[in-house]
A and B are shown apart, each in its own frame.
Chain A
Amino acid sequence: MRPVAAASDPTRHFFQPIIICLTVASVALTLFVIWISLHDLSLMRAGREKFVGLDNYIRFLGDPRAMAALWRTVLFTVLATVIEIALGLAVVLFLDRDFAMKRLVRTLLLVPIIMTPVVVGLTWRFLFDPATGMANYLLSLVGIAQVDWLGSPRIALFSVLVADIWQWTPFVILLVMAALESAPTDPLNAARVDGAREWQVTWYVLLPMLRRALAIVALIRAIDSIKAFDLFYIMTRGGPALSTETLNYYGYIVAFTNFDISYALAIAIILTVFTNVALLTMYSVLFPKTGDR
């Protein structure tokens, strides 16, 4: 499809007003949030707030709990994104052939995606229950002692990660599958005719064709993992010993347990800036300006 010059594109009458509305709304809200983060608004002292400049941001830099939460967010995001992409891709390549029940399998893959995160969290909390949960029961069959999935600070974060992977890998599978089905088959066949082995075809021809789709899915998953909240809230409440407190969850505690709205919004802004910088870096690595695409 040839790109139409924007000025003569009749659809602009539909999308321009929407874009303008959204821009105005988000800019206004962002400015309001920044304005509040420069005060010391607490719900317990409403009406007594004053302008404090950058105090909340300085407080953040000297707050070890916030720094640890930021590091945990990075760890969780990297692990969740990498594992979900790798696992999703592996499943797609495995499913990349015509077989009976393909439609059924695809439908079943949708189940975790459409489940409410709260339900997913509760389900995994039951599965990970040390005394009555399925996870330890299965381990006991092969003679492994009870694992304290959610009560051990060394393991808890990874237990939440497992739930996240279970919920979101199917999303990766669906998008990559769609990309794969729309990919041209000629280059693959040409490579096969030239005597390339199957793994070589996959590695040198197929994966470069999927690169763009994978990159976009990775971006979406990374943004979602940074914002992950429901699973942490339901499964561990940030415990034990802060081992599952991400920056987003810490912001929630500051806002709705400590009622320190200004500091919570400062945390939110820092998280937003940090996320944007990280994702822009990731984007420029994935889509270099030079190169073929």
Chain B
Amino acid sequence: MLNRRSVLMLGAAAAALAMAMPASADDKPFNGVQISVLLEGHPTTDAIQKMVPEFKEKTGIDVAIEVVPEQDITAKELLEFSAKSGRYDVVQNNIIYLPGFVKSGYIVPLDDFLAKHRENFDKADFVPGYFNTNVLDGKVYGLPVYGESTFVMYRKDLFEQYGLAAPKTFEDIENAAKTISEKTDKQIAGITMRGQQGIQGVYVWAAYLWGFGGSFFDASGKSALATPEGIAALDAFTKVLKDYGPVGVANFGWEENRLLFQQGKAAITLDATVNGAYNEDPAVSTVVGKVGYVPVPMKSTSPKGGSSSLAVHSMYVSAESKNQEAAALFAAWATAKEQQLKSIETDPNSGVTSLSALNSDSFGKRYGAFKEGMIAAINAGNPQYLPTVEQANEIINNTGIAVSKALAGTASAADALKEADEANNAALAR
């Protein structure tokens, strides 16, 4: 059977034959070099794996790709890094870990390598908001593979039926959720969001936190969740979910939340932009074409940061790599516009970081329904949406406990956030 990979190989071989001059060894200074790459299980990874033979054809570099689930990748990387094993030349991760990696000397700046390989690197082609999160002290440390933001998704048909306008504020969201929940006698949840303890709940609640004018830290870098803004944000978040949310929302992760909305059992959700790709996919969704996409509201007149997220996952080159230039070349090639354009064709990849891919026809055809909402969200995306300090993980975990306690009703928002502040400051002091 002719699978996609063999077609690509044939195409690459034909292209090589068609060239008047056979490639000589001088064109391939890295011929025979082997690099190993650690990537997250994700549509972009699937796409890159399909294209890797072309990279070998072009450069002579052998690439061994290892794939692990996103939630396990950080621990794996840190174990290899701290053991100075040099096992991976290129690793992928969320940019919230970038400062910690740089500070520990685990990853190297890429500027010199990128300057040498202009043909695979066009800074102007990246979504600026995505690219800039990879720059620290003026040096480029990573290249963005995929990114996402957050927006509000609502059921246009239900809103029309009950005479509601598209939600612009947090109050609009609450009123609409109340109306639809009551009018349908709770048959349709007014709103659904992730409530599960940990990163899941925090990722969505942070939209409320920033939107109400709160922030994770104060000016001196201390944890400052239990501010009037933070408490109001947690109260608002828990109120809508308790009163108009589905049963069981306190244990909802991304999957449960997405499925409930796709099955048409909820009227509003606030979640990642990638959910748009699922809502608009007839194979898995019953609400294709019925969903409106609007930005996350902003209640505060003097916000400390945007209320939509900016999650970027990039490739980094390990400081222990013996072939840093080949590794950087791979990262540049894998994130270059040609490859990103192809990735839309082969995999459900709505998180492209290349402007050419984002503005291509094939992207518009697949994801046109939420493209505008997504780009607006990215442009307003807050690079500090989740903490990026070294102890980010622990702080998110502590905050998640506070959100979960308030949602479960075992503590008031004020007490839960005070407790989180104490735990966070203890972590920051360690």
Interface residues of A (CB under 8 A from B): 40, 42-47, 129-131, 146, 148-153, 156, 236-243, 253, 255-260
Please give me the 10 A-B residue pairs with the lowest Cβ-Cβ distance, nearest first. Answer: A239-B197, A46-B82, A130-B248, A151-B250, A43-B78, A130-B247, A241-B408, A258-B394, A240-B250, A150-B251
Q: How many chain-B residues does the 8 Å CB contact rule pick out? A: 36
- Number of cross-chain contacts by CB at 8 Å: 106
A47-B82, A130-B247 are known contacts; what are 20 more A-B pairs with Cβ within 8 Å? A43-B75, A43-B79, A44-B100, A46-B82, A146-B247, A148-B247, A150-B251, A151-B247, A151-B250, A153-B408, A239-B196, A239-B198, A239-B404, A240-B250, A241-B408, A241-B410, A242-B405, A255-B75, A256-B75, A259-B78
Could you name 11 residue pairs across A and B whose Cβ atoms are closer than 8 Å?
A40-B430, A43-B75, A43-B78, A47-B104, A129-B248, A129-B256, A148-B250, A237-B196, A239-B197, A240-B250, A242-B404
**Contact mask B243-257 → A, CB, 8 Å, 1/0?**
000111111100010
Which residues of chain A have C-beta atoms less than 8 A from B405's C-beta? 241-242
Interface of B is mostly: helix
Residues B247-303 near A (CB distance < 8 A): 247-252, 256, 260, 265
Interface residues of B (CB under 8 A from A): 75, 78-79, 81-82, 100, 104, 195-198, 246-252, 256, 260, 265, 390-391, 393-394, 397, 400-401, 404-405, 407-408, 410-411, 427, 430
Nearest opposing residue in chain A for B392, CB measure: A44
Q: Nearest-CB distance from A134 to chain B (Å)?
A: 14
Nearest opposing residue in chain B for A45, CB measure: B104
B390 in contact with A45 (CB, 8 Å): yes
B393 in contact with A258 (CB, 8 Å): yes
Q: How distant is the Cα of A263 from the Cα of B174 in the complex, in angstroms? A: 43
Which residues of chain A have C-beta atoms less than 8 A from B400's C-beta? 239
Which residues of chain A have C-beta atoms less than 8 A from B195's C-beta? 151, 240
Q: How distant is the Cα of A240 from the Cα of B197 in the complex, in angstroms? A: 6
Q: How distant is the Cα of A158 from the Cα of B401 in the complex, in angstroms? A: 20
Which residues of chain B have C-beta atoms less than 8 A from A156's C-beta? 251
A131 in contact with B394 (CB, 8 Å): no
A153 in contact with B393 (CB, 8 Å): no
Nearest opposing residue in chain A for B78, CB measure: A43
Nearest opposing residue in chain B for A133, CB measure: B248
Which residues of chain A have C-beta atoms less than 8 A from B260's C-beta? 131
